[in-house]
Amino acid sequence: MFAAPLALAVLGSALSAGVIYVGPVSSGAPFQQIQPAIDAAQAGDVVIVLPSQPTSAYPGFTLAKPVFVVAATPFFSGATITGIAAGSTAGVSGMIGPLSVENCAGNVIAQRIGGRVRATNAARVHVLDSTLIGIQGYKVGGVCYDAEPALLADSSGVWVANSTLHGGPHTSDCFPLLGAPGIRATNSSLYIARTKSTGADAVVGFAGKLPNGLTATRSTVKYVGGPGSLLMGGSMANAGSPGVGLGLEDQSLAFLGADAYYAAGFVGPNPGPVSLLVDATSQLVQLGSFFPTLASTPPIAKLGTTVSVAASGTSGDLVFTFVALQLGPDLAIPDIDGVAVLAPASAVLFDSGAFDASGAHGFQVAVPNDTALLGLVAFTQSVELSPSTGAFSNPIALPIVP
């Protein structure tokens, strides 16, 4: 089933982005580095990073204004996003390297990131379509430094969807440091959908307890599940104690959907005996219902191509999918679980249907070959409705690139 390209065309006529190109001299781009392009950009502009040979590597950059940096072909760099004001959105898509988000009251999009993400005092970070790997522990001058999680959330709100995370491994000569969990959250709120997070694994014969798939401290976790969802502890070849999938400590609270799976790591071919740790001050709530989730293939939209959008939810329920070019403040609606994150004034209906017997619904989007759309980011979110209640899905982001 094809969604009419009219929705994107209408949005494109209402709002267009200023586009600034970065690339090698041979590409004709006006900028050869990302930071000068950001400095020249205005709020709402998009910086498109072109590929270069032999590797697309660029110096690190700082993003402190509502600008989106995107590449169709991933580039190597590192970035800090800071000071994004409430009501604004900034983001990076297609970067291989570490990303830090600091002191942001607005929305931050971290899409197609390969590296680790650290969020500190950030109101809303969307980690989408990413493969995150924590930084390995190391030893310098006789001093051991522990590994980092793939995602570290400190006093932040983070939504993770359609991603794979693996905690940074230990360094072999720094016992008892045993690596990092896939996700570590402290004083934070997490929303997790269609995501696999695993703790670091250990070398042969290394004793001790390995890290968890997710460790939450004084935090709230909403793990809705969806296809491919798993929290899993670190594994080892032949000794020690594997990590648990989910660890809750120090007044943490977790809500789990019906297909939000967690598991212990392995010792050799055998799974560990404990998959969940909840201390006496924390609580786990099994919601027992399936929640709507959303994904796209590919996670970017090239002009003149087709994108497949897949939704999952409860068999027989209706599902409505909307698209907007801006994110808005969280909007709660009575009797509908979760929040709408699209800007209501600019949202239009993309597709409607019902989940089939397997709980799936899909459609295709024909992206018009219209350069007026170039640089826009199509934010998409679904709402599932049953006779008595409903729920919002995770959002996805589709940057429109050449």
Q: Domain ranges in the chain? A: 116-286, 293-400
- For residue 73, what pLDDT is reported? 92
- For residue 175, what pLDDT is reported? 62
- For residue 179, what pLDDT is reported? 85
For residue 14, pLDDT beyond 90: no
- Identify the band that residue 158 occupies on the pLDDT scale cut at 50, 70 and 90: very high
- For residue 318, what pLDDT is reported? 98
Which token pair is 28? 């004709």
For residue 1, pLDDT beyond 70: no
Residue partners of 52: CB distance under 8 A and separation at least 6: 23, 24, 27
- Residue 93 sits at the vertex; the CA angle it makes with 115 and 230, to the nearest 5 degrees, is 55
| Nearest Cα residue to 79 out of 66, 87, 88, 69 | 69
**What is the average per-residue pLDDT within 135-148?**
84
Q: What is the pLDDT of residues 81-133, one digit of tens each?
A: 999 999 999 999 999 999 999 999 999 999 999 999 999 999 999 999 999 99
**What is the average per-residue pLDDT within 70-84?**
96
For residue 177, pLDDT beyond 90: no
pTM summary value? 0.94
For residue 312, pLDDT beyond 60: yes
- For residue 207, what pLDDT is reported? 56
**What is the average per-residue pLDDT within 37-50?**
96
Identify the three-state secondary structure at position 258.
coil
The span from the CA of 173 to the CA of 236, in Å, is: 16
Residue partners of 160: CB distance under 8 A and separation at least 6: 127, 128, 151, 183, 190, 191, 192, 193, 195, 197
For residue 208, pLDDT beyond 70: no
Q: What is the pLDDT of residues 228-259, one digit of tens each?
A: 999 999 998 776 788 999 999 999 999 999 99
- For residue 383, what pLDDT is reported? 98
Domain boundaries 293-400, CATH class: mainly beta
Q: Residue 382 forms beta bridges with which residues?
A: 321
Mean pLDDT of the chain: 92
**What is the average per-residue pLDDT within 64-78?**
96
Q: Please provide the size of the chain in residues.
A: 402
- For residue 6, what pLDDT is reported? 44
Residue partners of 310: CB distance under 8 A and separation at least 6: 227, 294, 295, 296, 297, 360, 361, 362
**What is the average per-residue pLDDT within 306-333?**
96
**What is the average per-residue pLDDT within 261-271?**
92
**Cβ atoms within 10 A of the Cβ of 400, count?**
26
| Nearest Cα residue to 160 out of 90, 98, 106, 230 | 230
The span from the CA of 207 to the CA of 202, in Å, is: 9
Q: Cα–chain-centroid distance for residue 141? A: 36
Q: What is the pLDDT of residues 343-382, one digit of tens each?
A: 998 899 999 999 999 999 999 999 999 888 888 999 999 9
For residue 279, pLDDT beyond 80: yes
Q: Residue 225 forms beta bridges with which residues?
A: 193
For residue 310, pLDDT beyond 80: yes
User: Which amino acid is present at 78?
Assistant: G
**What is the average per-residue pLDDT within 143-151?**
89
